[in-house]
Structure 1
Amino acid sequence: MSIRETTEMLLSGKFICSVTAPEAFNDLNNPETHETIGALLRPLNRKISRTRGGNAYYAAWINLEANSDRDAVTREFDAVRNQLRPVITFVLELMDCDLRDHPLNVGDIVSEAEIVTILENNTFLNERNTALLRLLNSKHTNSPVPVQVRTVFDSMKKFGIIAETIEGSRRFQFTGKLEYIYEVLEFINSREQILEKNAEEQNTAVQGDVFNG
């Protein structure tokens, strides 16, 4: 993948990981290419950031002095915040389906067909999936289970949380964005009491901390 393509992916808000773009991910692991792309981003008030676990790269803001940049950050923050609850609900649902007691991680594979089979035989989990569809404002809450599950998976794919292993297989891998979502959730939870004291002021501070990478 060319340096231009990788730079454009970062600027478009994509998370680059070994699942979604292995070639670009390897390029960013190369110090020379990493510096070249970083130099291209700096005049645009952006820098390359990496999740703490090291499984994804993304473009973060360098500073938020310009009003236009603050507006852009607010939009990005709102988009991520709106995804948090559905994504975490999805992860918890899959953990219950698999009877595991540890979170799903980048690279973990999940089969849509297997989840359909489990939900069709478990009323409780089926109801949880319907609740997730309500969070997603879906019109398929009363649809057959296979349609409901496909709708949820398509939403998570659109969020960039999962990617299909082979086109049309309906088997998915979790992407590096999941690691980022975990970090944002942890960050917000650690500052929940502060946010309650002065919501508007602290919300702006959280946006800056999160999107400055």
Structure 2
Amino acid sequence: MIAQVLRCLLSGAFICPIAYQTEYNLLLLPENRDLVAETMKTLGYRLARTNPDDGAYYMAPLDLTDLPITRVKEELSRFRDVFGPAVLLLDMIRQTNSVEIGLSPGDVIRLASLEEVIIESASLESQLRDLAPVIRNFNPRASIRDNLRRVLEQLRAAGYVALVNSQAEIYQVTGKIEYLYSVVEYIAEHEVIMVERVDDQVHDEQQVLDGIGDA
């Protein structure tokens, strides 16, 4: 069973009670958690958690400084530009107070309820259309329900929600959502620094290339 936990983590999965209940329960036992952590350490990773009390478990590098800063910025931008807007739309629907929707781990999202709210709001419908560049197979000519389904399915494929009732199209928010919130918050606080570091690295790399060309 420990091997199954390791496979999940090494695949990039976030282990929480919603997405991987069996594996999550295994990691709650200190002896299993220690064994998994030691094994990951030998591979250059550590066992991390979205929050210390009941957060999702995931794999993280032992040393972030080993990662190229340009790669880090690309990853952060993907969170901000692709998943951030989709969750923002769901949050705006939540703030209408006309439908019960939560965006914390374990909260339930009903596709039909989302559709009803957007149909009644030209502003929300416009925001849904604005997601076209970042949502896979989004079709501006398709129905609101079809495009909402594409939004939720993209979030599901990325591990932020799980489909718990396919017939009624009911989703449940997973523990990975906390990771998205922390990344978006980090970007908001450090984006200027990140851009400057990327510019410096590109400049340094160009100087190396120029030196090779002059040799």
1:31-70 maps to which residues of 2 (within 5 A)? Answer: 31-52=30-51, 54-63=54-63, 70=67
Deviation digits for residues 37-92 of structure 1 (CA, Å, limit 9, x no counterpart):
112212211110011364211011113687xxx47x97676345313333222222
How far, CA to CA, are the matches of 2:92 and 2:197 in structure 1? 36
The residue matched to 1:98 in structure 2 has which SS? helix
The residue matched to 1:135 in structure 2 has which SS? coil
TM-score normalised per structure 2: 0.80
Tell whether 2:140 aligns with 1:141.
yes
Retained in 1: the 8 A contact 2:94–2:102? no
Q: Gaps spanning 5+ residues in structure 1: where?
A: 204-213
Tell whether 2:99 aligns with 1:99.
no
The residue matched to 1:165 in structure 2 has which SS? strand
The 3 A distance-change label for structure 1 pair 12 and 127 is same
How far, CA to CA, are the matches of 1:87 and 1:64 in structure 2? 22
Runs of 4+ aligned structure 1 residues displaced above 4 Å come to: 73-77, 100-103, 200-203
The residue matched to 2:177 in structure 1 has which SS? helix
TM-score normalised per structure 1: 0.81
Query: Shift in Å at residue 201 of structure 1?
Result: 5.1
Query: Shift in Å at residue 6 of structure 1?
Result: 0.5
1:1-213 maps to which residues of 2 (within 5 A)? Answer: 2-52=1-51, 54-63=54-63, 70=67, 78-79=74-75, 81-99=77-95, 104-136=103-135, 138-200=137-199
Query: Shift in Å at residue 169 of structure 1?
Result: 3.2
Deviation digits for residues 2-57 of structure 1 (CA, Å, limit 9, x no counterpart):
11001100001000111101121121121110011112212211110011364211
The 3 A distance-change label for structure 1 pair 123 and 129 is same
How far, CA to CA, are the matches of 2:31 and 2:154 in structure 1? 36
Aligned-partner residue type, residue 187 of structure 1: Y
The residue matched to 1:13 in structure 2 has which SS? coil
Aligned-partner residue type, residue 82 of structure 1: R
Aligned CA RMSD, in angstroms, stands at: 2.8
Aligned-partner residue type, residue 114 of structure 1: S
- Between 154-163 and 128-137, the greater mean CA deviation after superposition: 128-137
The residue matched to 2:131 in structure 1 has which SS? helix
Aligned-partner residue type, residue 94 of structure 1: L
Query: Shift in Å at residue 200 of structure 1?
Result: 4.2
Retained in 2: the 8 A contact 1:111–1:171? yes
How far, CA to CA, are the matches of 2:72 and 2:48 in structure 1? 15
The 3 A distance-change label for structure 1 pair 113 and 29 is same
Aligned pair count reads 198
- Determine what percentage of the aligned residue pairs are the same residue: 24
Query: Shift in Å at residue 189 of structure 1?
Result: 1.9
**Which is greater in Rg?**
2
